[in-house]
Structure 1
């Protein structure tokens, strides 16, 4: 099993994170249309397309909604260039309390549900989030896919072995049974009856094993500190169209474990918290108060600095006068404490400039950005 790591921060229980891939062109247009549709329907409180800087290759969208009562969710979707002209999307969402897996998938707030085949794909291997993914017949390719899955950090990967070839009822994807909050976070791998030995050989170095006719939730890397392969292994999965309750319970328990953040996930969460632009009136007021407090703190610090400088200058002048009198030299001109005052003025001008810059950004958003719904 991959060794767990404490080097990365743990994902907070209030946070929902996912990364995927949109195949082909039209990703931005699909997101814009979806956000407008849900805002008009009252599903979203508001949304915003953040104006991109000149030459930027990323496009950012923000949305806010209430999945339950007065609980608010804020989410930020970033589109980045991917392979072959595709777009890689990174989605970070945070609620005002611990995330409830019965809430809708945040991905469905940004992407249309009738085009899941275009965007509901794992970012690394392009595997489906909402369908089942048969393992490759070639053993070399099979090992590559499973090793990538075992080391994945964004999605939860599940390997299911078919004890015998199922009929159409047994081909129902696991995603159909999962809680809504796990859609677009789980990748299902299907191993054909004759592939069991190849699967377990590929996982042997990691100390993992898939039971015959059963399933295993892979730990990812870094693995959750509390991961035990035995607890997330299901001995029998009946692929007869019935709900695989034991497997769903194992996947849900795994998703609830405290987990180290995936690579780049910390940056996505930081951007959500610190670069958020879709502010309510109350948040605008709070930001203005923070700016006033910053002015006051800077003024107080500069005033203290000026007084200390003046006191030090006077003491230095007295010492120099005493030295000149002892040496029989002409008295020195008294120093002027103008320098710290100029420094104070320049500091306050920079603060005012920062405030005007924020106002200009806001004005640019109102005039240039698409309507916020």
Structure 2
């Protein structure tokens, strides 16, 4: 079973993350039209496109909406020039997979819309479709190896015990809760591919039951991941709802899991670089800034006062030293030193003077 060798922050239960690629033209225009339509229909409370800097490699969009339970969700999507996008959403409560998918708050939920391509495996995989495993064993191993290392998406491998009919060939994504629909990548293994699939997955510590399915661990894997706990013995590909598989996928998505590579920066940007503020949030932010500036000014004032006090004490000490030095008697003449004997340095002279002071103060008066 794969393990993470580095300590990473855990994914908060309030956060929804996804990553994909739009492979069609004019991705920015598609996104702008869709979010504006949702705002006009009051699905979105508001949305914002941040100004693009001259050297920017991506466009950034923000959106805010409320779930049916009145929970506020804030989301941030960055769109690169090559169509790759990263989406982070955070709710004011623990995420419920029955809530609307944040992906459909930015992208149209049209089956033909080309925004739902997975990017981590390097294969042409889609979130909302069935992805048959390659017939070539080498390519099959490459795809499954990449899927087992995926951190942003949830990959599930389903084995067809027999060739399914038209209903069985439909993607399982349509039966998943909205919050899972655009995070799950469904791989399909043909009846004769079971041995090759399990051979390719041997290093991941998981096996696909015949006619069943298994959720791959990803990287980093959830705490305490056990392949048997995320395996389903039977999946009936007859168009009926696979209740056990949906429960397993939901449990995996809700499990404690470290943030995937790059997600910490994305989540920090969502929280700290948020621009779509309500009037109340703007007032709160301004008050926080005023408080921060006031504390900084107070700290500077205290530092200035301490510096002034230290300077005054140093000046008093120097004055006292000069007065003490002036009150000392002239030292008796000494035998002339040879010309080649170096004279004492000012520091040595000062040291000797202080020693004489100590001696003079230590003498007791005689009777």
**How high is the TM-score relative to the length of structure 2?**
0.86
What is the alpha-carbon distance in structure 2 between the residues aligned to residue 186 and residue 121 of structure 1? 11
1:9 deviates by: 1.1
Deviation at 1:68, TM superposition (A): 2.4
1:343 counterpart residue number: none
* Map 1:52-71 → 2, pairs under 5 A: 52-71=52-71
Counterpart position of 1:102? 98
8 Å Cα contact 2:157-2:216 kept in structure 1: yes
2:110 aligns to what SS in structure 1? helix
Measure, in 2, the Cα distance between the counterparts of 1:6 and 1:14: 23
Structure 1 segment 96-175 matched on structure 2, within 5 A? 96-114=92-110, 116-124=112-120, 125=122, 126-175=124-173
In terms of fraction of residues, the more helix-rich structure is: 1
Once the two structures are TM-superposed, the CA of residue 70 in structure 1 deviates from its matched residue by 2.9
Partner of 1:246: 244
Q: Give deviations 1:226-263, integer Å, cap 9, x for gaps.
A: 32111111111111111111111111111111111111
Report the CA distance shift for 1:255/1:293 in structure 2 as closer, same or farther (over 3 A). same
Q: Please give the alpha-carbon distance, in whole angstroms, between the structure 1 residues aligned to 2:101 and 2:179.
A: 5
Residue in 2 aligned with 1:30?
30
Distance 1:223 1:291 in 2: 40
Q: 1:66 Cα shift?
A: 0.3
Question: Which residue is 1:76 aligned to?
Answer: 76
Paired positions, count:
325
CA distance in 2, matches of 1:133, 1:114: 18
Larger radius of gyration: 2
C-alpha contact 2:21 2:118 (8 A) present in aligned 1: yes
Higher relative contact order (CA 8 A, sep 6+): 1
String of CA shifts for 1:298-355, please: whole Å, max 9, x gaps: 12111111211111111111122223334449xxxxxxxxxxxxxxxxxxxxxxxxxx
**Does structure 1 conserve the Cα–Cα contact (< 8 Å) formed by 2:39 and 2:46?**
yes
Q: Secondary structure at the match of 1:92?
A: strand
Conservation of the 8 A alpha-carbon contact between 2:61 and 2:77: yes
Tell me the TM-score normalised to structure 1 length.
Answer: 0.84
Report deviation, 1:4: 4.9
Task: Tell me the secondary structure at the aligned position of residue 79 of structure 2.
Answer: strand
Q: CA deviation at 1:69?
A: 3.6
Uncovered stretches (5+) of structure 1, i.e. residues with no partner: 330-373
Per-residue deviation at 1:6? 6.3
Decide which of 222, 228, 247 is 1:224's aligned counterpart.
222
Which has the higher mean CA deviation after the structures are superposed, 128-137 or 259-268? Answer: 259-268
Q: Name the structure 1 match of 2:330.
A: none
The secondary structure found in structure 2 opposite 1:114 is: coil
Which residue is 2:46 aligned to? 46
1:275 aligned partner:
273
Q: Distance in 2 between matches of 1:18 and 1:106?
A: 9
Equivalent residues of 2:11, 2:257 under 8 A apart: yes
